[in-house]
Structures are given as structure tokens and as C-alpha cells.
Amino acid sequence: MPFKSGFIAIIGRPNVGKSTLLNALLGEKISIVSKKPQTTRNIVRGVKNLEGAQIVFVDTPGLHRPKGLLNEFMVKEALRALSDVDGVVYLVDATREMDEVESFVMEHLEGLRCPVVLVVNKVDLVEKGRILPLMERYSKAFPFREIVPVSALTGDGLEDLVGVLVELLPEGPKYFPDDIITDQPERFIVSEIIREKVFMLTREEIPYSVAVVVEEFKERAERNLVSIKAAINVERDSQKGIIIGRKGEMLKRIGTYARRDIESLLGVRVYLELFVRVKKGWTKDKRALKDFGYH
């Protein structure tokens, strides 16, 4: 049988489960997740190797009508992912009805040359009688190649989804070696893990005002240790106080949770040093956005 390979973009509204789906398909956590919308800001690629095929998934920020420079960057990142892929997974939430946001997303499906697969996520949270009518409404709105109900959380339907996606792939080479599951550098994944813990532990606007930059990443092979120094950038002095917390307790909790995940990722002991820096109004500053990797 000829070898098949290609790129599949995962798109959808914010907080629909795109990163959870990617991690579930790969069996590894490479994309951060939280219950808050707009957690993903950058494109993240994940590689799934199968017998006779390789799928390169492209996880994207949530599509929405942007407000502000950072949100504009996120939407442009998501749309950029559609420009050169072999197929698109359009992920929707089974607990939500079609609305204006979904109409906005489907506007960008018009004119795509590649096939689009509708994936209805979170089917474990709704009665079965609601799923078929929802699928029918979506099928009338756009000519999807296939419609696949899944639960990224429980794994239901993921095997069927992979089978559908393999059928979309052209014959092609193996783009990545078997031992590679993402093309993202370790520094980027480490910064994302730290940012995920900020999302998990802080409330309101704080997570959306945070950018994490890894400033030092030193491998000390003789001690089986990686030493990491990272800056948590915020927009206002008041946010700095919240991130640090009383007697430094919040910053310590962020560091403890992040270090555990980073050690699991790297397979070595990690010394993690975090500090908080104020970069006033960085989400509205083009130069600061570029410095923090959002360009």
C-alpha cells in the first residue's frame, strides 16, 4: 500500500475543545488546555504516526470576531492554518446550538479547496436524541465531507475520526521521524505550560494579560537537571501583585504545578525560577506583541 501523509487543521470557536482533541488524538499533552476561552494563542502542530500514514495536526486559536491586537493576531493565526492543508476538522460543541459565532466560522470555510469534516465534540454531555438533529442542521449549512460525533475527553469516536482523516490524505512522504510528536521547541512548550497554570489558578482578566517568556534554558547533563528561568509578563502593577500573591504564595503554586508538568515532559529534574515583570499595555503594543512571539 502507498504511504499517505498530510496536514489537517483543527478549527472552531474558542473553548470548544480543540487542544483537548489534539492531545487525545496523539495520546500526549502538547497543547495547553483550560476551561477559559481563548487559551490557545499560537499554532501548535502535533504528529500522529500510523501504519501506512502520518497525520500532522495543526491546532489553532479559537475563531471569533477579534477585539484588540492580540485577538487579531490569534484569528489571523487560525485562518493562516487553512491556507495550505489537506483537510480541515471543524470542531463544534454538542451542548451548544448553531449561533452567530458558528456562522462567522463557517464563512471562512467557503472557498476552501480541501475537504472539511465536521466533528461534534462533547457528545458525552448530551442526550443522544439531541445529536442527530444538531448534525442535520449543520449539514444543511455547509457541504461537509463527513460528520463524526466524538468525545475528546472520553475517547469515544476518535478511532472513527482518524479513519476518516486518513482517507483524506494524499500519497506522500513521512514529514517527521517516528519519535517526533510536535515540531514546537521545548522552550515554547515550557512557556505554554507556565501560562496554562496561570489560567488554571487566576481569575477574571489576569490570564488574558499574561505572556510568558523563557529567558534561560540550561541543560546540566551531569546532574540530570534542566535549569529554567522564565518571566511572567503582565500589563499592570496590580496584576503583578495578584500573580505573586500574599508572601509569594500564588507564584509558588504556579511554579510547583508547572514544574511537575515540565519534568514529565522532559523526563529530567527541573529547577524552575519564575519572576513577574510589568510591561504596561503589552496586548495593545505591536512591538511588545512581536517580542512575546505574537507576530
DSSP string covering 101-153, please?
HHHHHHHTTTT-SS-EEEEEE-GGGS-HHHHHHHHHHHHHHS--SEEEE--TT
Location of C-alpha cell 546532574: 223
Residues of the chain with pLDDT under 70: 37-38, 41, 66, 295
pLDDT of 266: 87
Q: Which CATH superfamily is domain 186-291 in?
A: K homology (KH) domain (3.30.300.20)
pTM: 0.84
pLDDT of 41: 67
pLDDT of 105: 86
Give the distance from CA 180 to its chain's centroid: 18
What is the DSSP pairing of strand 44-50 with strand 53-59? antiparallel
Q: Which CATH class is domain 4-168?
A: alpha beta
pLDDT of 265: 85
pLDDT of 30: 80
Tell me the domain boundaries of the chain: 4-168, 186-291
pLDDT of 169: 96
